[in-house]
Structures are given as C-alpha cells and as structure tokens.
Structure 1
Amino acid sequence: MGLVLPPLKLPPDVNELVYLPRLAGDGDYWASPSNYVLLTPEVAIPRRVVAGLGDWEVEWLRAAAVARACRSSVVTGRHAARLWGIGVHGIEPDGVVDLLLPGERRASSMDRWGENVRYFNTLLPESEYTALDGYRLATPWRAVRDIAIRDSELEALVAIDSLRNVIPGPDDLHYCDILGSGRYHGKTRVRNLLAMSRKGSESPLETWGREQLRQAQLPEITSVRLQVSIDVANRTFRVDMVINGWLIVEFDGGVKYDGDNQSPRKEAQRQHLIVNAGWTMLRVSYQDLARGNFVPMVLEALRRREAGASA
C-alpha cells in the first residue's frame, strides 16, 4: 500500500481572499482597491487582514491564493509544502511562487499569468500532483524533492525532516517518493540530503540546530539524541535534544509535558525540577540560531562541565 495524501493545511484567513476575475468588476475591491493588498495580479486580500499577520502568514496565504487561482499550472516547492503542513525555513524571497506544468509541457507566454511566479520546465507526471479541494499542488513528496533540488541544503533538510514527522508512513516509502524514479538533474543531491535527514525533529528550529552542530564538528560532542523522554520526580518530560547524555537543549522554549501545552509558569516549575535532578538545560531561540550563538552556547556548557569534573 502506498502513501496517502494528508489533508491540506489552509490559512485561517483563506476565506478572505478575493479572486478578481470572478468579480467581473463588481464587489468591494473595485469600489475601494486601496483597502486591499494584491497577493498576485488576480488575487487580493483586505488590508485589515494583512495588517495583523506575520511575513510567513502572508506567504501561506499567497500559496493558497496561487494554488486556487491556477488553471493549468501546479504549485510546487516551499509554497506547496506550506499548504501540506510541512515546515519550511525562512521566508521566500520576494514572495515568488514556484510553478510546474503537468506532463512535459513547457511554459509559454500564455501560461505566465503573474509577476510573482516562477516556472520550471521539468517533467511532472500525473501521479505527482493533485487538485485537492480546488488547490492545484504538487504532492508533498514532489514539493520536497523540488526544494531539495533548487533551494539551500538547510531548507531541504528542514522540509525533509518535517515531512517525515507530519505525514504518517514508513520511512522507506517516504524515501522512494521523495527521490522519485527515472533520471533528473539533481537526483544525486536529493539522495545525499535524504541520507542526512533525521526522523524526530518536530520543528524547523530543531533541524537548524542539529545542522549547526553537524557543521561545527565539535570533538567534545559524543552523542546527539532528538525528542527524548526523561523521568523526573515521577513525571515524564519530553525534550527536543540531549547532547552527551546530560545536556538538554530546548528550541524556542516550551518544555513538553505529557503531550500538553502548559502555562509559562508551569514550564518554569518543570524546568526547575529537571535542573534540580541534575540535568543542564539550554533554551535556544530563533535569534540564537540566526546570530550564530547556539554552537558557542553548547561549547561553553560542555567545557564548563569538563572544568568542573577536573577541579
């Protein structure tokens, strides 16, 4: 039995999208266009909605807008991954959406309907795209393959790790569907990235942190485990990463406790329990990773432990 397509993960504000060709000159947009923001030349959204959103939420909406407006093209890459609930690293430059045409078709001037899209002329078999609920998308595995071919190593690893975590199925089937069959440019790179991926990362930050440690090649690190359950004071906590069996790393805060989200106060109490039980804990934010602080934080903790042991 093959892998099953997951349900789409659409933005909460998707029903606010306005498809201009369908209005034919009627509607609020034409009366007050300044009250709207164009996500594509054919799709707008009220400015009041965008005002309360982060950049990644706007890109999520743009992905839905393009996928729903496509007539013959198919959204792939990072924007398609967002709509499948797959984690991506960072924000797409200039909001450009990657598109493919089914089969062996190449994009002509008639196909190029927007400035914020980029066409790729590569084979797209019928088995690797869908029009689920009216959204024309590459399958999750094809979308991740295209990320691995065209985007950075880190972006690819984040997407591969996330797909393995959020979509149920055996790893060997995920591997085969991401790699694909036949020959294509970049297949060796995709195969190498699949070998570097690790199951267990539950957020892009965890993959990013693991990759920074791999690149640092610190001789002080003897083991790295992901999503580890530890027992403290008759309670079970799940933490993002354990280094060398004693150093806990939590990315972006949030100690997990029995699968439930707890208040910051309770999280602080549980951190206190963990530390009192003899564990060392580092809390690592997006800024720590982006500014290159994470590896020095780990190295300092390791050396401090070594100095204490030799004192």
Structure 2
Amino acid sequence: MSKWTKRYGLVEIRKLPLSDVEQLTKIRNGTYLKLTDEVAVDRVAFGKLKRWDQLAARAAAAGLTADKAVVSGVAAARLWGLGVRGYDPTVDLTTMKAKAQSPKHWPPNVRYRSTHLNPGDFIEDNGLRLTTLGRTVADITRWHGFVDGVIAIDSARHRYQNVSFAVLRESALGLGPFHGRALVRRVLDLSRPDIDSPLESWARALLIEAGVGVEILTQVEIRGTDGSRYYRVDLLIDGWLIIEIDGAVKYDGETFGETTAEVLRAEREREKYLQNEGYVFLRVGMADLLPDSNGEFGVVVKARALLDHHAARVIA
C-alpha cells in the first residue's frame, strides 16, 4: 500500500486480484466511488474528508492512473501540502512526450499540458510522478498569475524549511527561457519564509500588486515604548498601519484550546494596546480578499483609504 492509497483510502482497481470478491463487488454496486477508471475510494469515507483532502485525493488518483504524465500546478501543490486558492477540481497533468492528446479524449476534471520537462523537474513518489517544489511554484505562477505564485512560494518556504531557498530558486528557474520567467523571478524575490497562513500571503500579494504603501513587512514583532510587552502582527505597512487577516479557524473554539470569547478578549486587549502606542489597526477577512462587483478587493480599498487619510502620520 502506497502512502497515497493509505492517506486517502484509495483502491487501485487494476491491482486487485480476481479473488478479492469483496472489493470488486463494492466497485460494481457503487459502494466505491471511481475517481478515475483505475482508482476508487469508499464513497462514505470520501464524503467525510475535508474538501481540501478530497481534491488532493483526486490529484493522487489521477497521478496513479497516468502512465506517461506528471501531476503539475495546483494539483501538485495539493500533494505537497502547499496553500492554494480556491477549490477547482481540475488536475493538471504535464505530458512526458512532445504533445498532449486532444481535449476530447481527456478524462473529467483532467487537463493535459504540453510543456518541456527536464529529468530534474519531477520526482517519482509511491507510484505517481509530480513536479518538484520549485517547478510546481513556477508552473502555478506562469499558469495562474502573481497572487497564486506568491501564495505557493510562501507556503513552500514555510512548510519545507529544510529545503534551501537557493535550491527552490534554481528549480523554479531551471526551465531555461520560458514565457513568464520574469514573473516567476519576481515572485521568488518577494517570497518570505515566515508566513504560515495562505490568507496572509494572499492579502500581501494583492497589496503589492495594487502598489499599496511603500514598505510591507511580515510577521513583525512590535514592542511597546515601556518594553513591558510585545506583539507579533501579520502585516505592517509603512511602519504604522497594521493589517491582521482573520481566518474562521481562529474562532472555532477548538484549534487553539481557547473559547471564542477568550480569543476575542485577548485580541481586543492587544489591539487597544497597539493603538495606544500609535498604530492603526485594520482587520480583514476572506471576503476582503475576493473581488467585489467592480473587481476591487476590500483589503486594497480599505488599506489605501487609511494610508491616504493618514498620509502625514509618523510614529516616533
């Protein structure tokens, strides 16, 4: 049993012996859900997985089924455990030959891509092939853009701190000349290893892309003037505007072993202390990272308004 089949409860149909009547019957009667023609999973167990894990399971199933292709892009990022935006079920498979088959022959939720792969651009892992961390970041950036690239590289640097940035950079740019190379290089140059939240990377990327502020620092430790206490903040713009990105997990009453009331009380105390020190606070959530009907992002609009209003403000 490979780590992929064990992690997600996948069953490789082609490897089942004819004597395994029980599992073959479950495939025939619908107890098992077929993710691909060759990989199935218990329907009830699959339904209990978190949406993220369901998508990762589908990526693994596609990879285990593909004999001459490599799991790439967002699907590869899911298998690496990286943060990505959205819940698109499409699995990108990069062919190991010159040209991909016609789209009319693609299985559901699979997209084949024809692009050059060096031998060092992918690894073989427990029965499937997937792009390396660096190549995964490069593909996400050139296929999906700046914001998605920043989220992916920040996540890769934080999750795999045993992999040097030099190695990641070489892997990401090792394609040689390619369309989008300058954008990949920019994403790498702007990446940070200390960001543990995809939402924070997402907000930071939107602010950078919109040209908000002069300097955006991450995970900043702020000490009070009396030196008695200090707090770490998500983003600090131009030395005085603090942006905190709130995720629902913070208020679930379980993840951090505190009740919602305790979390809110501690946050209010922290916010009040920093405001008394001269900082301005802006709290944003997921809704502020999504475009409104005019294509504008709340985090950008709100931050820019505060910066414009306090243009002359300086913290001593």
1:50-99 deviation line (CA, Å, top 9, x unaligned): 3334443321111122223333322111111111122112122xx22111
| Letter of the 2:271 counterpart | V
User: 1:5 corresponds to which residue?
Assistant: none
Indicate the residue corresponding to 1:285 in structure 2. 285
The aligned residue for residue 74 of structure 1 is 70
One of 98, 108, 121 as aligned partner of 1:115: 108
Matches for 1:89-108 after TM superposition, within 5 Å: 89-92=85-88, 95-102=89-96, 104-107=97-100
1:160 corresponds to: 153
Aligned to 1:3: none
Q: Aligned AA for 1:100?
A: T
SS of 2:35's partner is strand
Say which SS state the counterpart of residue 211 (structure 1) adopts: helix
Structure 1 residues 264-290: Cα deviation after superposition (integer angstroms, max 9, x where no partner): 444323323322323343332112211
Q: What one-letter code is carried by the residue in structure 2 that aligns with 1:285? A: G
Identical aligned pairs, as a percentage?
Answer: 33
Tell me the matched-pair count: 289
Q: Which amino acid aligns with 2:124?
A: A
Q: TM-score, normalised by structure 1?
A: 0.78
Partner Cα separation in structure 2 for residue 197 and residue 276 of structure 1: 31
Alignment-mate amino acid for residue 298 of structure 1: A
Would you say the 8 A contact 1:14–1:64 is kept in 2?
A: no
Structure 1 CA distance for aligned equivalents of residues 313 and 240 of structure 2: 14
How far apart are 1:308 and its partner, in Å? 10
Q: Quote the Cα distance in structure 1 between the aligned partners of 2:313 and 2:232.
A: 27
Distance (Å, rounded) in 2 between the aligned partners of 1:300 and 1:29: 59
Letter in 2 for 1:239: V
1 CA distance for matches of 2:92 and 2:214? 40
Determine the C-alpha separation between the residues in 2 that align with 1:216 and 1:188: 18
C-alpha deviations, 1:197-222, integer Å up to 9, x for none? 4444322211221222224334xx34
Query: Kindly tell me: are residues 183 and 152 of structure 1, through their superposed partners in 2, closer, same or farther at Cα, counting changes over 3 Å?
Result: closer
Evaluate the alpha carbon distance shift between residue 235 and residue 38 of structure 1 in structure 2; reply closer, same or farther with a 3 A threshold.
farther
Tell me, which stretches of 5 or more residues in structure 1 are unaligned?
1-7
Partner-residue secondary structure (3-state), 1:119: strand
Question: Does the residue aligned with 1:212 lie in a helix, a strand or coil?
Answer: helix
Contact 1:10 1:83 in 2 (8 A): no
Further displaced range: 51-60 or 227-236:
227-236
Report the aligned-residue RMSD: 3.3
2:40 is equivalent to residue 44 of structure 1: yes
Deviation readout 1:9-48 (Å, 9 max, x if unpaired) = 969x734222222336741433421x34332232222232
Query: For 1:118-129, what aligned pairs fall within 5 Å after superposition?
Result: 118-129=111-122
Aligned with 1:202: secondary structure? Answer: coil
The separation in 2 between residues aligned to 1:286 and 1:39, in whole angstroms, is 30
SS in structure 2 of the partner of residue 99 of structure 1: strand
1:151-201 alpha-carbon deviations (Å, 9 max, x no partner): 233222221222222222443332221111533343344334434444443
Q: Which of 82, 88, 94 is the matching residue for 2:84?
A: 88
Pair 1:209–1:117, CA change in 2 (3 A): same
Unaligned runs of 5+ in 2: none
| Residue 202, structure 1, aligned to residue 207, structure 2 | no
Q: Is the 8 A contact 1:145 1:178 kept in 2?
A: yes
